[in-house]
Amino acid sequence: MLKNKTTLVLGAGASRAMGFPTGAGLLAAIHNLVTVDRQPFAIQAGLFNPDGAALYEFIDAFRGSQMYSIDSFLARRPQFSDIGKRAIAAVLLECEKASSLDRCTHADGWMQYLWNKFGAASWDELDFSCLRVVSFNYDRSLEHYLLQAIIHSHGVTQKQALWKLQGLKVVHVYGSLSAPLPEGDGYLAYGYGTENNAAAIVAKHLQVIPEGRNDSAVLTLAHEHLLWADKIAFMGFGFDPVNMGRLDSQRTCVRQVDRSGGPAFREIIATGFGLTDVEIDAAGLLIGNGNASHGRPRFYKTDCLTMLRESGILQ
């Protein structure tokens, strides 16, 4: 069980183990929707309704923009918001498979490690109130995984498991593939697929935050989750300056904070898998007062599981 208030900040790399693409992979998958091999899928997913012109125009513009982030592109080109969100939904719904979570065969099995920090507790002791999550991912793998793990570990009903999960606060900055958990508004079963106009339905749950706006209700909640924490872990995160600005990271991720007992220093760590030393230095400056004399956040050039194990942040 966690003893300290801990917030996880999830980027695309944190979903890679669950079969979802990284930012670059999502970009490539969207670009490929109009290729000969992928057109049948795009048609089946409803992306050519009412016709294919909008899809071609969107992909041509997105490819031509040379931007890494689909979210940043759509924030700048709101006329493509509808078709862009439907394309995102189609690609990610195809990746959403319960079997990818159940097998636990990926080397970066951080969700299984996280669950086992809670799973040893008895039913009465099981408590998620010390854990919060700020996710920049659309997938709802974490919520589904924990729900199923609770049901099967304790032999309880879905309703009982959902009651326990009320203690876990998760905010999806850009929305999610329908409601994350059963009984939520507009919920589609995990692994539903792209049939029955699902991409268009899911697209309504995805958010495009206008460029320069950092005061939406969802961002305010994300800020609260970060300020609340005694420990913060950035997992699979790319440290895009736009996303860091939306987190207001220079304010919400400072290491020294005022608590009721006076000033306190927080532990802040991050994965740096695939990042150069120069990129890590730049990211460190974006995380709170990273250039202050009391030290920068600790980076681990590893996957999420290895960072959690080596840092001991979930102790």
- Write out the H or E segment, with its range, that includes residue 76: helix 70-76
Q: In CATH, what number does 1-20+99-174+209-315 get?
A: 3.40.50.1220
pLDDT in tens, 84-134: 999 999 999 999 988 888 766 678 899 999 999 987 779 999 999 999 999
- pLDDT, position 289: 62
Strands, E assignment, the chain: 6-10, 131-135, 169-172, 231-235, 256-259, 262-265, 267-271, 298-300
Every domain of the chain and the residues it spans:
1-20+99-174+209-315, 23-95
- pLDDT, position 22: 87
pLDDT mean values, one per 10 residues, the chain (315 residues): 91 91 90 93 89 89 91 90 94 90 78 88 92 96 95 96 96 94 91 91 87 80 96 94 90 83 84 92 80 70 95 92
- pLDDT, position 294: 54
Mean residue pLDDT of the chain comes to: 90
- pLDDT, position 293: 47
Helix (H, G, I), strand (E, B) or coil at 265: strand
Query: Quick one: 152 exposed, middle or buried, by C-beta within 10 A (0-12, 13-18, 19+)?
Result: exposed
In terms of phi and psi (left: phi > 0; alpha: psi -120 to 50; beta: otherwise), the region of 262 is left
Tokens read off for 10:
């999830």
Torsion, Cα of 81, 84, 85, 87 (10° steps): 160
Torsion, Cα of 228, 234, 239, 242 (10° steps): -30
Chain Cα centroid distance, residue 148: 19
